[in-house]
Structure 1
Amino acid sequence: MTDSHFNDLRGTLTDANTLLLQRQLPGSIERVWSYLTDSDLRRRWLASGTMPLHAGASFELVWRNDDLSGSSAERPDGFPEESRATCQFIDVDPPRRMRYIWPGVGEVCIELEPRGDGVMLTLTHSQLIGERLILNVCAGWHAHLALLTAHLEGRRPPSLWSTWARLRQEYEEQLCASGQ
């Protein structure tokens, strides 16, 4: 079992445009890697799409967040039922690291490190521009990683949209309090 308090901690902005989130996950590094790279497993917590695992490869992520939520009625105004992004790998080092460009949203790096009987996941999302994008990305990654953690622990995942809405408000309060 993972430390649930640790996994509830908010991400931090390491500078004005870089989010850092860490999660201690149960299982082997290969198991966690499969949840990052296998479309069927990844769609259960984030987005589907085949990933050719080599530098320079393009891949599409397809989000259907209503499927990860209690009801489509939870979807915030302004968000579509489905969204897509074509990303490109900068580098991939299975099963330890992937780094890719998400056009218009920044650069994402996910690193895995065996730690004890589990895995430390470190997510760094850089090149975030604008308060709205920063808040949406902070809440989005936090909420999606809550679903990943639940799946890996064998628990029922929380509703994505209701978790996202709560977290977005919390991140907004945190960022306003810190003056960022």
Structure 2
Amino acid sequence: MDQHIGNDRLGVVTAPRTLRLERLLPGPVERVWAYLTESDKRAKWLASGPMADFVGGPVKLTFQHSHLSDEKTPAEFQKYEGSGFESKVLRYEPPHLLVITWPDGGQDSEVTFELSASGSDTLLKLTHTRLASTDSMVSVASGWHAHLGVLIDHLEGKAPAGFWSNYQRVRDEYSQVIKD
């Protein structure tokens, strides 16, 4: 796999309240698309739940972080275990573009997943816009970073590395680079 993307590179702020992460994922676009849209595959790296395959349709995400790696969920995050939310599909263009709403601070932010072929692999560009605050940006950046790490491990056929230790490591890094 071409490593020019840097699969542990921090996301970047591309505009006010906007974060982008890029990852080179092993396998074809259609395989990665399935990990975004199919509940059983998405549950392995992010959250389970049904997702409509049409614009305006519902998305329900239920998070079980304790299932993402062998690490125990830290006490400060245990209250979120089994929690979730409902959102909706804003764009659905299989297998290259998915945009969904994401609740954040009493408003809807938006998450865009763009997939393109890069040889036999897939370039993922994840952009999260309309984030409510700097604190939210740090939390969201850390979460996406750790979740994408788990996705990469699954796609590579490896046992996922520690979700929470990765989250906490990058949260400290993001808090240093994301400022008001």
Q: TM-score when scaled to structure 1?
A: 0.91
Residues of 1 paired with 2:30 and 2:6: CA distance?
22
Identity of aligned residues (%): 38
1:122 aligns with 2:125: yes
Q: For residues 126-171 of structure 1, what are the alpha-carbon distances to aligned partners after superposition, in whole Å with 9 as ceiling and x for unaligned?
A: 0011122111100000000001111111122112112111110110
* Structure 1 equivalent of residue 15 of structure 2: 15
Q: TM-score when scaled to structure 2?
A: 0.91
For 2:170, give the aligned amino acid: L
| Higher helix residue share | 1
Residues of 1 paired with 2:79 and 2:138: CA distance?
14
Describe how 1:104-119 pairs up with structure 2 within 5 A: 104=104, 106-119=109-122
1:80 Cα deviation from its structure 2 partner: 2.0
Structure 1 runs (4+) deviating above 4 angstroms are none
Structure 1 unmatched runs, 5+: none
Q: Residue 2 of structure 1 contacts residue 25 of structure 1 at CA under 8 Å; is this kept in 2?
A: no
Structure 2 unmatched runs, 5+: none
Kindly tell me: are residues 78 and 91 of structure 1, through their superposed partners in 2, closer, same or farther at Cα, counting changes over 3 Å?
same
The total of aligned residue pairs comes to: 177
Residues of 2 paired with 1:89 and 1:19: CA distance?
19
* Structure 2 equivalent of residue 163 of structure 1: 166
Residues of 1 paired with 2:5 and 2:90: CA distance?
33
For 2:55, give the aligned amino acid: A
1:69 Cα deviation from its structure 2 partner: 3.4
Q: Residue 66 of structure 1 contacts residue 161 of structure 1 at CA under 8 Å; is this kept in 2?
A: no
